[in-house]
């Protein structure tokens, strides 16, 4: 099946342990995909949507206990506990292996074992990395074809290079008490059992492309980040790429395929990625980015013609939906899509408002990136695209202004490290609670955050044309809880300010926490936002920021001596300058 001895041996070992009925090596072909889908339609794993209005599209209903990432069941297993850091749950590798071997024993009885070779990143890119996922889920095998470069070409690259990340996945019995997602960064291995949910089961995504890759990236001198990548072209044809980190379910997919507002005739957005960026320092001293993925695993609720028409268009065919509601005529439906009333909720029950939302708040679509109108050929470039600005964003009802510019790289790393956001339905647990989520990597950094921030600082030192670093907040609210900023396509106005700053064409208001737009520099033409709202969005409250800096201080100290002194110094500088502002 393969000329790579290590791979052949591993597949044999896993088969001996898990006892599958059959073994299938995935080639990634359309015929294979069609066979997987036909099998899932037979078994009821997929339901066919209306073939006239939604050709080759399906609904998957997951186990109701298995609808989001489970951070409390996710572990990083390094030989030394401290290497995983306080930001991860840790288990001794030997204990983790013993636990997982017991759970995997006989786990695939009566099922097919799929061997899924995949490549994260363009197949001919030196920055791409390969993996093989062994899974007993046809849904996972089919989704991996959409989300990665999956099949024979990836296997060929593995056979050429010899190295690959080993990912072992089984649905197990889907019982939450027997659900674990284990990472072994030193072995370049992942083991996941008991969940069929995207982030837990599509191992190329968060497990490989972030947790394992961030560990590899630190050793090899690059960055693996939870960032979208997009190009913005102005009417003069100037094209700049930006990378932006937001926590899960904070609008990365919408932003990556943003549609310019009416007033922005001649502007064009080029989508490169919506979730993950692998960033390398180029020979030219700039930062270059590839998107390791080939598809979108996006949040459905809230997606509409108004918020993201590109997404609505791309979801009209060849899409797998997970945990959305259904209309009478078998079209997918979710809250925010339209004012229709669905017939069935995400669990297949007749829809009743008393049962809660019709679509699960973390219901998703899985679709090839090529179906997106704003998708760019540049996503296939082996070298990636050069990044002009890095953006950190969270969901903060108060404090953080619409946009803030870091004074320099070090200050930017502090902005990223002190990011906070209200929790969303993308992970199990309470939603709407503000928690610190440095660089939006809290659930995904595969090693100690102190070392991670040092690595960010060291990477900056190697860039002689470092991108500007910015913080944005599309989610500020007034006292009545209403959003102050319209968001979505209108965010281009803020991105334009950022690009103007990167090109040095406008000034800014320097404050201790960073640089703010000068009055009138955020273009509001044609927009119905009051002066009072804009004022609130573009000013800072010194006392609130002093409190914030105190909290950031305790937060950073919580990570102990591995936190780089430069980060403490930078925070102290900001705090001191804020004290200098006097009492307001
Ligand atoms: O579930 S995923 O981790 O793949 C998506 C997300 O939460 O960002
Ligand atoms: Mn994500």
Q: For atom 1 of ligand 1, which residue has the closest CA? A: 199
Q: For atom 6 of ligand 1, which residue has the closest CA? A: 248
Q: What percent of the chain has pLDDT over 90?
A: 98
- Per-residue pLDDT, 140: 98
Q: How many CB atoms lie within 10 A of CB 38?
A: 12
Mean pLDDT of 186-203: 98
Q: Which ligand is nearest to the CA of 275?
A: 2
For residue range 109-135, list pLDDT tens digits in order: 999 999 999 999 999 999 999 999 999
How many whole angstroms from 250 Cα to the centroid of ligand 1?
A: 11
| Tokens standing for residue 258 | 């943003």
Q: Evaluate if residue 254 carries a pLDDT over 80.
A: yes
- CA distance to 163, 300, 367, 388, per residue, from 190 (Å): 15, 28, 24, 34
Residue 248: CB within 6 Å of ligand 1? Answer: yes
- Per-residue pLDDT, 583: 59
The pTM for the full model equals 0.98
- Per-residue pLDDT, 581: 87
Mean pLDDT of 199-217: 98
Mean pLDDT of 91-104: 98
For residue range 373-401, list pLDDT tens digits in order: 999 999 999 999 999 999 999 999 999 99
Q: For atom 3 of ligand 1, which residue has the closest CA? A: 199
- Per-residue pLDDT, 584: 53
CATH level 2 (architecture), domain 5-220? 3-Layer(aba) Sandwich (3.40)
DSSP string for 436-481: E-GGG-TTT--S-HHHHHHHHHHHHHT-SSPPEEEEE-TT-B-TTS
Nearest atom in ligand 1 to 426's CA: 7
Q: What's the pLDDT band for 516 if we cut at 50, 70, 90?
A: very high
Q: For atom 8 of ligand 1, which residue has the closest CA? A: 248
Q: Evaluate if residue 87 carries a pLDDT over 90.
A: yes
Residue 439: partners with Cβ closer than 8 Å, 6 or more residues away: 225, 226, 245, 392, 416, 417, 419, 445, 452, 456
Q: Where are the beta strands (DSSP E) in 247-406?
A: 268-273, 277-281, 287-290, 295-299, 320-322, 325-326, 332-333, 364-368, 385-393, 403-405
How many whole angstroms from 275 Cα to the centroid of ligand 1?
A: 8
- Domain locations in the chain? 5-220, 225-294+378-539, 297-367
- CA distance to 4, 201, 426, per residue, from 133 (Å): 15, 10, 23
- Per-residue pLDDT, 236: 96
CATH number of 225-294+378-539: 3.90.228.20
For residue range 295-343, list pLDDT tens digits in order: 999 999 999 999 999 999 999 999 999 999 999 999 999 999 999 999 9
Q: Best mutation site among 200, 248, 252 for ligand 1, i.e. most ligand atoms within 8 A of its Cβ?
A: 248
pLDDT mean across residues, the chain: 97
Q: How many CB atoms lie within 10 A of CB 241?
A: 22
- Per-residue pLDDT, 527: 95
CATH superfamily of 297-367: Phosphoenolpyruvate Carboxykinase, domain 2 (2.170.8.10)
């Amino acid at each position: 099946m393969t000329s790579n001895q290590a791979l052949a041996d591993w597949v044999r070992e896993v088969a001996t342990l898990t006892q599958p009925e059959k073994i299938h090596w995935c080639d990634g072909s359309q015929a294979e995909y069609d066979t997987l889908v036909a099998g899932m339609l037979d078994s009821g794993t997929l339901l066919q949507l209306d073939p006239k209005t939604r050709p080759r599209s399906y609904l998957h209903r997951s186990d109701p206990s298995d609808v989001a990432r489970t951070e409390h069941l996710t572990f990083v297993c390094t030989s030394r506990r401290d290497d995983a850091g306080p930001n991860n749950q840790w288990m001794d590798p030997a204990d983790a292996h013993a636990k997982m071997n017991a759970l995997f024993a006989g786990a695939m009885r009566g099922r097919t074992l799929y061997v899924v070779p995949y490549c994260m990143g363009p197949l001919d890119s030196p920055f791409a990395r390969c993996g093989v996922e062994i899974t007993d889920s046809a849904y996972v095998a089919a989704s991996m074809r959409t989300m990665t470069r999956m099949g024979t070409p990836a296997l060929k690259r593995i056979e050429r290079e010899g190295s690959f990340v080993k990912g072992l996945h089984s649905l197990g019995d889907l019982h939450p008490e027997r659900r674990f997602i284990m990472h072994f960064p030193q072995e370049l291995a992942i083991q996941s059992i008991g969940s069929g949910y995207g982030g837990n089961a599509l191992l190329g995504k968060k497990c490989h492309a972030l947790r394992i890759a961030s560990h590899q990236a630190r050793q090899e001198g690059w960055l693996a980040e939870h960032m979208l990548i997009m190009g913005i072209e102005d009417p003069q044809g100037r094209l700049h790429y930006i990378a932006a980190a937001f926590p899960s379910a904070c609008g990365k997919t919408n932003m990556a395929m943003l549609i310019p507002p009416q007033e922005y005739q001649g502007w064009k957005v080029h989508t490169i990625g919506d979730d993950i960026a692998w960033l390398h320092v180029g020979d030219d001293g700039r930062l270059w980015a590839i998107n390791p993925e080939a598809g979108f695993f996006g949040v459905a609720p809230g997606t509409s013609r108004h918020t993201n028409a590109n997404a609505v268009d791309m979801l009209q065919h060849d899409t797998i939906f997970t945990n959305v509601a259904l209309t009478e005529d078998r079209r997918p439906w979710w809250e925010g899509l339209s004012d229709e009333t669905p017939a069935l909720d995400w669990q297949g029950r007749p829809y009743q408002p008393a049962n809660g939302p019709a679509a699960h708040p973390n219901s998703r679509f899985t679709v090839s990136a090529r179906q997106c109108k704003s998708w760019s050929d540049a996503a296939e470039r082996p070298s990636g695209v050069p990044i002009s600005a890095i953006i950190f964003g969270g969901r903060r009802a108060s404090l953080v202004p619409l946009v803030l510019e870091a004074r320099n790289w070090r200050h930017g790393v502090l902005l990223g490290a002190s990011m906070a956001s209200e929790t969303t339905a993308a992970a199990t647990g309470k939603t709407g609670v503000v928690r610190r989520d440095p660089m939006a990597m809290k659930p995904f950094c595969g090693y100690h955050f102190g070392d991670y921030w040092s690595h960010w600082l060291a990477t900056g030192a190697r860039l002689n044309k470092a991108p500007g670093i910015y913080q944005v907040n599309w989610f500020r609210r007034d006292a009545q809880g209403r959003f102050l900023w319209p968001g979505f396509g209108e965010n281009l106005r803020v991105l334009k300010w950022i690009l103007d700053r990167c090109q040095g064409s406008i000034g800014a208001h320097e404050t201790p926490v960073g640089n703010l737009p000068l009055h009138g520099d955020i273009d509001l033409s044609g927009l119905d936002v009051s002066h009072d709202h804009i004022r609130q969005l573009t000013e800072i409250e010194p006392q609130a920021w002093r409190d914030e800096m105190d909290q950031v201080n305790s937060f950073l100290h919580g990570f102990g001596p591995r936190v780089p002194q430069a980060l403490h110094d930078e925070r102290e500088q900001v705090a001191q300058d804020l004290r200098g502002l006097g009492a307001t």
